[in-house]
Amino acid sequence: MSYEKLESRFRQYHRLNDLRSILYWDEAVVMPPASGSARADSLGEMGVLIQGLVDQPEVGDWLAHAEAQKPKLQPMQVANLRCMQRIYLENTAVPSDLNRRLTVARGKAEQSWRQLRTDNNWKDFLPQMREVLQLTRESLSALGSAMGLSLYDSALNLHSRGLTTKNVEVLFNELKAFLPGLADRVLAKQGRAQILVPEGVFPVQAQKALCRELMTTLGFDISRGRLDESHHPFCGGNPHDVRITTRYRDNEFISSLLGVLHETGHALYEQNLPREWVEQPVGQPCGMAIHESQSLLMEMQIVHSPEFLEFAAPLMRRHFQEHVKNPKSLETDNLIRLINRVERGWIRVDADEVTYPLHVILRFEIERDLLEDRWPLEELPAVWDIKMRQYLGISTLGNDRNGCMQDVHWPGGAFGYFPAYTFGAVIAAQLFAKIANENPSVRQQIRQGEFQAINTWLRERIWNQGSLHDTLELVESACGPLGTVAYQRHLESRYL
């Protein structure tokens, strides 16, 4: 009885969340410019109502009673109950006044950050960042007490279910042991290769047509989704209505295409969540590490592979042959080299697959220490510079814009998110190795533009599992205990 009441309440909760996601999409894609302030107010009210569906004493009572029903429940229902308890804690553990203050501080810090980053103005950013950090600490501390987790563990757990500081440290130490050296060797090898960048005017209509062709070939169901334009590319909407966005520039088509195919990985996960559980907590995605593993499996394991580019290069030539000034740049071998080029740089979002994890490791070590108050926030630029020189061999001294101020995550209060990117990359490599192991013709299938076998495997092992398991359990059930072996092999085989 209590369990049924919970299903009914959480169905409301997820349906309202689904509508809210459509409104976020609307805000980013179609909302007229002067409507933003009223929209923010309205979404604020909607947030209060949605939280109010869960933050109720009766929900706590039902959860307690449902525990007694457990013997009669199916495994998915038991897992659902566990997910409900987690959502209930997340919505009730933090005092609402603290929540409100943190929301305001994050909003203000994010807004100032845009200008202060442009101005390379760390000094004026510091006090706002300090407030966000302090309130985030308080909030995570309340959440951590309720869940029995340390500060950074509860930050990690918010974004990637079940991940611990220990898990991250073990994995990242393995990566630190081989990545810097690997980057040296890759750069030395790459130095000798000639790479042509396609030049010309590439009509946006043709770019859209190619994106649409490839995303549907990869399995995206366009009858339950859309492709649109926005300032920052994202995959939004909800599992019933998945909305990918990108932005086009007419002098360059590769970055928007790769962006769309990355988002297609996220989209396939959303579109293939277990249909009958998709309005319950257990039917939601398992967390951001798994979500990023799906986008990176698509982008790095499949789309960047020589086999996929052999399949896709003729399509690019068909769409752009008459628009490209240097036709040799669209030859398959050149595209493979271009799309897999490695470069050391300041900026995480521009980083290639080999150096990207170093950007993440640096951020993990810093945010863990900041939350635990191991050194004062004033020292952030200096610490950042030391670690950049250590891991990537370049300095950011006096260049905070391209250093510790480059990401929106910290002003936005999203501490504990960064590891999801690199866990995603490592999980993706291990999943793909498992797929290739079980299906020896997978590379041949990719070369022929056939993705049904890959998608069937992912649907069974990952997509259809929803939140039945925590992050690492899900990885283990799909492809064995998580490690860095497959990832290292993948990088060596692709780049050396």
Active site residues: 263
Binding test (CB under 8 A) with a second copy, winner from 22, 98, 254, 408: 22
Least CB distance to a second copy at residue 46 (A): 6
Does the footprint of a second copy cover residue 342 (CB under 8 A)? no
Give the integer Cα–Cα distance in Å for 164 and 158.
11
Binding test (CB under 8 A) with a second copy, winner from 74, 194, 223, 493: 223
Query: Taking contact as CB under 8 A, which single stretch among the options 37-45, 152-160, 311-319, 351-359 is the one that binds a second copy?
Result: 37-45
Least CB distance to a second copy at residue 24 (A): 11
Whether the Cβ atoms of residue 7 and residue 80 lie closer than 8 Å to each other: yes
Q: Which residues pair with 245 in a beta bridge?
A: 228
Query: Taking contact as CB under 8 A, which single stretch among the options 96-104, 155-163, 183-191, 235-243 is the one that binds a second copy?
Result: 235-243
Least CB distance to a second copy at residue 450 (A): 24
Least CB distance to a second copy at residue 225 (A): 6
Which residue, 233 or 237, is less far from a second copy as judged by CB?
237
Binding test (CB under 8 A) with a second copy, winner from 82, 108, 130, 224: 224
Does the footprint of a second copy cover residue 16 (CB under 8 A)? yes
Does the footprint of a second copy cover residue 240 (CB under 8 A)? yes
Does the footprint of a second copy cover residue 146 (CB under 8 A)? no
Q: How many CA atoms lie less than 13 Å away from 368 in the CB half-sphere?
A: 16
Give the integer Cα–Cα distance in Å for 160 and 147.
15
Does the footprint of a second copy cover residue 34 (CB under 8 A)? yes
Query: Taking contact as CB under 8 A, which single stretch among the options 27-35, 312-320, 370-378, 488-496 is the one that binds a second copy?
Result: 27-35
Query: Taking contact as CB under 8 A, which single stretch among the options 48-56, 90-98, 320-328, 373-381 is the one that binds a second copy?
Result: 48-56
Least CB distance to a second copy at residue 229 (A): 13
Whether the Cβ atoms of residue 431 and residue 471 lie closer than 8 Å to each other: no
CB-based contacts of 372, cutoff 8 Å, min separation 6: 151, 152
Cα–Cα distances in angstroms (integers) from residue 133 to residues 102, 157, 288, 434, in the given order: 9, 18, 21, 40
Least CB distance to a second copy at residue 233 (A): 18
Edge-to-edge strand list for the sheet holding 225-229: 225-229, 241-246, 235-238
Does the footprint of a second copy cover residue 96 (CB under 8 A)? no
- Could you give phi then psi for residue 279, rounded to 5 degrees? -105, 20
Does the footprint of a second copy cover residue 229 (CB under 8 A)? no
CB-based contacts of 66, cutoff 8 Å, min separation 6: 2, 3, 6, 81
Does the footprint of a second copy cover residue 9 (CB under 8 A)? no
Footprint of a second copy on 253-282 (CB under 8 A): 279
Binding test (CB under 8 A) with a second copy, winner from 110, 131, 138, 241: 241
Rg (CA), the chain: 23
The tokens describing 334, both together, are: 């050149």
Whether the Cβ atoms of residue 314 and residue 208 lie closer than 8 Å to each other: no
Cα–Cα distances in angstroms (integers) from residue 113 to residues 33, 135, 212, 401, in the given order: 20, 17, 34, 10
Least CB distance to a second copy at residue 9 (A): 11
Three-class secondary structure assignment of 259-280: HHHHHHHHHHHHHCCCHHHCCC
- Could you give phi then psi for residue 244, rounded to 5 degrees? -95, 140
Whether the Cβ atoms of residue 361 and residue 391 lie closer than 8 Å to each other: yes
Total residues at the site for a second copy (CB under 8 A)? 35
The tokens describing 291, both together, are: 């979500």
Does the footprint of a second copy cover residue 58 (CB under 8 A)? no
Q: Please, is 276 exposed, middle or buried when counting C-beta atoms within 10 Å of its C-beta (0-12, 13-18, 19+)? A: exposed
The tokens describing 455, both together, are: 């998608």
Binding test (CB under 8 A) with a second copy, winner from 67, 124, 221, 350: 221
Which residue, 66 or 244, is less far from a second copy as judged by CB?
244
Site residues for a second copy per CB under 8 A: 11-12, 15-16, 18-19, 22-23, 26, 30-35, 38-39, 41-43, 45-46, 48-49, 53, 221-226, 238, 240-241, 279
